[in-house]
Every structure is written in C-alpha cells, then in structure tokens.
C-alpha cells in the first residue's frame, strides 16, 4: 500500500473506526511495558476540537494507522497515540500521520509540538528524528527508563499555513 491509496480522516476517538488503533496501541504498550494505564490517562475530550484532533488512516476499509494531539499549552500541541498496524509498517504511514498531525496543529495555531515515546520503541525514536524533531535527551546514551521527549518548533510565519507539511 502507498500513501496515495490511504485516506486520512479526522474522527472522534469514540468512532468505531478508531477501535483498531486503540486496540493495537493497548497491545503494543502492554507487550512492551507490561500492564499500564497509558490509554486511560486522558479523556476523549482532550483529543477533540478546538484544541485537539484524533485522526485515522484508512485503506481498503481498514484502519491502518493514526494518531492524535491535545493542547499542552497555548502554543504547544502534544502528540499522542501514534500507531501503525504491524502489517503496514515501513510503508511511510507513520510519516504520513506525523505530517498530518503537524498540519492540523498548525491550523489550530500551535507553534510547537511536544511528544514523548518510551525507551522500548526504537522505531518511534527513528520516526521522530527523521521527521525533524529535536530529542530532549542524549541520543547516543538513550535512557533505559522514563519517557523520551522530543520537540519541534515551527516558524511563526508558518503558523496557519495549511501547506506547511506538504511534500
């Protein structure tokens, strides 16, 4: 599958089409970190307009990727819930999700994105580094515990431009 055959949809987190993403994340987090409450940490309203967004990528009627953001502060969106179905990894869908989340955050006036990932998710670290995020930790001496934080700043002149993240 290519990005061209995938459709990006903004949906509420409670939309039935979001269920595969949430189930996939639950399995991913549990298999890597054991029992945890990560998915229960924020209510659905945190990922809803006007301050947040929840998006899915659909191909062939199947939810294959997605992600979300919430308001971190007045200028910063916090990206959460980025996921790609295991059968569709390494197809560019993670990059598509990150670009679309950036585009949506810019439309809402955010000038900065903050996100964290876990130390047992090296593919996420690679995705964020390749997407231009600045690690807030020493990449050469990655911590084995705790969240790994990243930030990305957008020039003020780009805020509100809908084509900023387009290739």
Instruction: Find the domain containing 139 and state its range.
Output: 3-158
For residues 130 and 95, is the Cβ–Cβ distance under 8 A? yes
CATH number, domain containing residue 146: 3.40.630.30
Task: Summarize pLDDT for 3-14 with one digit per residue, the tens.
Answer: 558 899 999 999
The answer as to whether 34 is a domain residue is yes
pLDDT at 63 over 70: yes
Number of domain units in the chain: 1
The answer as to whether 165 is a domain residue is no
pTM recorded for the entire structure: 0.88
For residues 57 and 65, is the Cβ–Cβ distance under 8 A? yes
The pLDDT-based confidence of 144 (bands split at 50, 70, 90) is: confident
pLDDT at 109: 95
pLDDT at 15: 97
Task: Summarize pLDDT for 90-123 with one digit per residue, the tens.
Answer: 999 999 999 999 999 999 999 999 999 999 999 9
Query: Which regions of the chain does DSSP assign to beta strands (E)?
Result: 7-10, 53-59, 62-73, 76-84, 112-117, 134-135, 148-153
């Amino acid at each position: 599958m290519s990005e061209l055959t995938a459709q990006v949809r903004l949906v509420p987190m409670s939309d039935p089409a979001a269920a595969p993403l949430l189930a996939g994340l639950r399995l991913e987090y549990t298999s890597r970190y054991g029992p945890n409450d990560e998915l229960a940490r924020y209510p659905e309203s945190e990922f809803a307009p006007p301050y947040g967004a929840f998006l899915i990528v659909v191909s062939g009627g199947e939810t294959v990727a997605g992600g979300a953001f919430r308001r971190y502060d007045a200028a910063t969106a916090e990206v959460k819930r980025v996921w790609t179905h295991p059968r569709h990894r390494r197809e560019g869908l993670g990059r598509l999700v990150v670009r679309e989340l950036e585009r949506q955050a810019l439309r809402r006036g955010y000038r900065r994105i903050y996100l964290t990932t876990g130390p047992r998710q090296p593919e996420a670290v690679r995705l964020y580094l390749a997407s231009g995020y600045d690690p807030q930790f020493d990449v050469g001496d990655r911590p084995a515990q705790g969240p790994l934080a990243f930030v990305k700043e957008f020039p003020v002149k780009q805020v509100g431009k809908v084509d900023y993240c387009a290739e």
